[in-house]
Amino acid sequence: MRVEVVDEALTRGLRRSVLRPNLLPGAPLPGDELTGAVHLGAIGDDGVALCTCFIYRDAPPWQPGRTDGWHLRQMATLPGYRGRGLGALVVGAAVRQARERGGALLWCNARESAIGFYLRQGFRPHGGIFVEHEIPHQRLWLELGDAPTSSMQVEAGGDA
């Protein structure tokens, strides 16, 4: 297994099955149109994406003028691989990639069921729960200067 920058097409099936199962095969996923997005994946020895997310430069809504913010989106892990630390490894890769591109803050709109995972990675909540796509979410953020430099915390039993 390896964690690396990947082509978005490699992770589209995983993202669709976990996050947007209501969309028809072949339909674009939200965010696919973003230029400059960096797609990351934990890729099995057989070439299958086991866990993924993507990041792109985007100011957090509560600091709209910030130019060093990066948005993490569409974190997804195959159900049979959850709780094995892959999510932490992919988030760690996202932190490194954002830093290399001048990022100082990484933020996301986390599904309520994944908030604990992000908190274990060092993210902090911003504001309360809100509904997006009929699913409760919370905004979370991480100052990249506070994040570990090697890899994120790997915990058995995590959500991602």
pLDDT tens for 84-110 read 999 999 999 999 999 999 999 999 999
Which phi and psi (to 5°) does residue 8 adopt? Answer: -60, -30
Percentage with pLDDT > 90 across the chain: 78
CA dist., res. 145 & res. 83, Å (int): 26
Asked if residue 20 is part of any domain, the answer here is yes
pLDDT at residue 147 in the model? 63
Q: Establish if 99 belongs to a structural domain.
A: yes
Average pLDDT for 110-129: 96
Q: pTM of the entire structure?
A: 0.89
Domain that holds residue 13: 2-143
> Domain count of the chain?
1
Q: Is residue 105 part of a domain?
A: yes
pLDDT at 156: 33
Examine residue 155 and state whether it is found in any structural domain, yes or no.
no
pLDDT at 24 over 90: no
Q: Please report, for residues 73, 112, 121, 127, the alpha-carbon distance to residue 131 in angstroms, rounded to integers and kept in the order given.
A: 16, 10, 23, 12
pLDDT band at residue 126 under the 50/70/90 scheme: very high
Q: Please name the residues in contact with 37: beta carbons below 8 A apart, sequence gap of 6 or more.
A: 8, 31, 54, 55, 56
Going by pLDDT thresholds of 50, 70 and 90, the confidence category of residue 5 is very high
Please give the mean pLDDT across all residues of the chain.
Answer: 89
CATH code: domain of residue 75: 3.40.630.30
